[in-house]
């Protein structure tokens, strides 16, 4: 484990590390900066007004699908390349020419959201707010591999459900995440119909337990939190009717959360030892409230926070202290973060390896490499952490051993080399090292960078150093 300057350690443990530009240098007493950011409710970037709501995204996608059907019909009718060209010319004369570089809505919307996400991290001061966004986004994981609907709404999910709620109560954050259209689509709750509901009796369709299972296992109580399979099934019944407004549902606004009473399983429900009256939408919301304040949830969230920010094997005492704050404050996340920062201050060594997405941002900040979205996304993909596309609802792994493998280290070196080759002119690697790390730089790193045979090699060594790779 690497023992280093506390301010420098905290800037990486709770942020993305320093930037090389003078404006990006962080002052001393980083702990004070972190606590100030928490007290102010976070350092939230201003979202581009061109970013779409879920309703706008789904509407554009529907229009795109209709256009694709029309184009497919034209192509099918054309028997030769000449006929296809004639059809294209006709479309151009009608002003229907597809502009160069046109992307389908799902990809275009994803790119806009990804740019906002990377930009917010690159421009962040301490970086704590963005790191918390990333943590909760992985906790309430959705995967764009599910299909176009999730690809279009992954960014909106982060902006609408997570960012506005992550400095308030866990109860509010939980409700916002579970009722967001992206989550309901990803975990198939919009397909879940109560077997004894009016819709269930008429359509012969039934229950889908995906959302309920992940809500208990991954979002609140944890796999060993004390719930049973019966609790999963009953919770799934309580969540029936939680769906997304579509063109086919006249009562629901397109792309918005909608409770469809016709799909809701009637009757009282007992979940984790508590019984809830048949109150329609309120029944599921009351269950969420109780799960949010359950002791198992406090322990699980505390454990995950310590594992992500401090150490792969969370210290029992640290976890217990944070869980106690969670319970005592009713899940006040700002108070929980203060306890987390205190736990991070107490841990004097860099005990974690940066996961790929975080490493990409830290490397770009350290070199002032300009953001090229396709390149940044490719780096993350090659390193094994494609943006908003974890292998499952449990999100990306969070232990150093999941990322530090012989194959993984090889790719890290390749990415470091690619970034180093495109590092803008200005400071040489030794000067950059002094600006970024100062006295916190180890003698080994300083010696290795100083012996580099070229500027590019020096920056590559700098990016592969423990000061960048570890936190």
Least confident stretch, 29-43, 46-60, 235-249, 393-407: 46-60
Q: Does position 99 have pLDDT exceeding 80, yes or no? A: no
Q: Where are the domains of the chain?
A: 2-21+352-469, 187-292, 295-350
> DSSP letters along 146-203, please?
G-HHHHHHHHHHIIIIITTTTTSBHHHHHHHHHTSHHHHHHTTGGG---TTSHHHHHH
Q: Measured between alpha carbons, how far is 453 from 426 in angstroms, rounded to an integer? A: 17
Least confident stretch, 194-208, 224-238, 273-287: 194-208
Structure tokens at 191: 């397909």
Which residue in 239, 340, 357, 338 sits closest to 287, CA to CA? Answer: 239
Q: Measured between alpha carbons, how far is 260 from 245 in angstroms, rounded to an integer? A: 9
What single-letter DSSP state applies at residue 265? P
Bridge partners for 271 per DSSP: 274
pTM over 0.85: yes
Q: Measured between alpha carbons, how far is 194 from 91 in angstroms, rounded to an integer? A: 48
pLDDT at 2: 42
Least confident stretch, 20-24, 122-126, 136-140: 20-24
Asked if 300 and 221 touch (Cβ cutoff 8 Å), the reply is yes
Structure tokens at 315: 């210290």
């Amino acid at each position: 484990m690497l023992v280093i300057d506390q301010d420098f350690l905290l800037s990486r443990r709770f942020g993305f590390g320093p930037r090389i530009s003078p404006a990006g240098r962080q002052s001393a007493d980083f702990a004070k900066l972190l606590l100030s950011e928490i007290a102010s409710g976070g350092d939230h970037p201003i979202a581009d007004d061109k970013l779409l709501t879920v309703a706008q995204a789904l509407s554009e996608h529907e229009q795109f699908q209709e256009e694709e059907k029309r184009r497919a019909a034209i192509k099918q009718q054309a028997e030769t390349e000449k006929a296809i060209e004639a059809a294209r010319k006709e479309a151009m004369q009608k002003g229907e020419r597809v502009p160069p570089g046109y992307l389908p809505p799902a990809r275009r919307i994803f790119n806009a959201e990804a740019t906002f996400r990377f930009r917010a991290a690159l421009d962040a001061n301490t970086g704590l707010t963005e790191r918390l966004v990333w943590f909760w986004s992985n906790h309430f994981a959705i995967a764009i591999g599910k299909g176009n609907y999730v690809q279009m709404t992954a960014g909106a999910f982060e902006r609408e459900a997570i960012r506005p709620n992550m400095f308030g109560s866990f109860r509010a954050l939980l409700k916002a995440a579970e009722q967001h259209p992206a989550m309901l689509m990803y975990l198939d709750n919009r397909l879940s119909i109560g077997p004894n509901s009016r819709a269930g009796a008429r359509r012969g369709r039934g229950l889908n337990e995906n959302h309920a299972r992940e809500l208990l296992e991954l979002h609140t109580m944890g796999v060993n939190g004390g719930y049973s399979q019966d609790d999963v099934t009953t919770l799934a019944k309580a969540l029936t009717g939680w769906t997304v407004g579509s063109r086919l549902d006249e009562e629901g606004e397109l792309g918005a959360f909608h409770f469809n009473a016709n799909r809701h399983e009637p009757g009282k429900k007992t979940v984790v030892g508590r019984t809830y009256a048949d109150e329609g939408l309120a029944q599921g919301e009351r269950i969420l409230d109780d799960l949010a304040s359950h002791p198992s949830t406090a322990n699980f969230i505390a454990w995950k926070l310590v594992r992500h920010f401090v150490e792969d094997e969370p210290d029992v005492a640290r976890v217990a202290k944070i869980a106690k704050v969670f319970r005592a404050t009713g899940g006040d996340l700002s108070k929980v973060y203060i306890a987390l920062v205190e736990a991070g201050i107490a841990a004097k060594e860099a005990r974690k390896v940066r996961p790929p997405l975080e490493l990409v941002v830290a490397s770009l900040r350290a070199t002032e490499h300009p953001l090229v979205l396709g390149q940044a996304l490719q780096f993350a993909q090659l390193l094994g952490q494609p943006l908003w596309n974890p292998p499952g609802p449990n999100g990306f792994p969070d232990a150093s051993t999941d990322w530090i493998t012989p194959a993984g280290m090889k790719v890290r070196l390749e990415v470091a080399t690619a970034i180093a080759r495109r590092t803008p002119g200005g400071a040489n690697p030794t000067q950059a090292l002094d600006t970024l790390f100062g006295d916190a730089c180890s003698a080994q790193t300083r010696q290795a960078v100083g012996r580099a045979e070229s500027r590019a090699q020096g920056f590559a060594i700098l990016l592969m150093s423990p000061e960048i790779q570890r936190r």
